[in-house]
């Protein structure tokens, strides 16, 4: 799936998806600051998502983003707040992207930032080869 295919999918399922716009996206300075805070480099597809949508939700499931306010004030789905301030995910080698009401946790492994993994209970499995596939699968999970 390409980025354009994903945008088309978002448009087809606009009843399930609440995404921002490029006007909502964090600046390159905020992206770099978040990467520095998390001691990592975000995958290109995640940076593309941030710049084009700022953030968003799929059926109320927030995809963590960068709120572009001081991280310690960014209560909610700010990726730095969620992974470094509110939780010690970064210390456990994870950068969590979202959590569901069903106990699912989707995350990047800090040692391999391209793939997205799923944690349910104590079981970790690879969920997607990349961030675009992760978004596609989250949309499709609610379309069936």
83-135, pLDDT tens digit by residue?
999 998 999 999 999 999 999 999 999 999 999 999 999 999 999 999 999 99
Full DSSP string of 43-105: -HHHHHHHHHHS-EEETTEEEPB--SS-GGG-TTTBHHIIIIIS--GGGGTEEEEEE-TTSEE
What CATH number has the domain spanning 3-143?
Answer: 3.40.1580.10
State pTM to two decimals: 0.95
Q: Based on C-alpha coordinates, what's the Rg of the chain?
A: 14
pLDDT in tens, 54-90: 999 999 999 999 999 999 999 889 999 999 999 989 9
């Amino acid at each position: 799936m390409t980025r354009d295919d994903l945008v088309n999918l978002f448009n087809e399922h606009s009843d399930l998806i609440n995404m921002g716009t490029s006007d909502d996206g964090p600046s390159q300075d905020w992206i770099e600051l978040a990467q520095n805070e998390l001691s990592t480099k975000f995958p290109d597809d995640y940076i593309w998502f941030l710049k084009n949508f700022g953030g968003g939700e799929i059926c109320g499931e927030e995809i963590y983003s960068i709120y572009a306010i001081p991280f310690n004030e960014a209560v909610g789905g700010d990726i730095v707040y969620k992974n470094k301030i509110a939780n010690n995910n970064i210390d456990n080698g994870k950068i969590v992207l979202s959590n569901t009401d069903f106990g699912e946790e989707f995350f990047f492994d800090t040692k391999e930032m391209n793939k997205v993994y799923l944690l349910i209970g104590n079981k970790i499995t690879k969920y997607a080869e990349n961030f675009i596939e992760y978004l596609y699968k989250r949309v499709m999970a609610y379309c069936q």
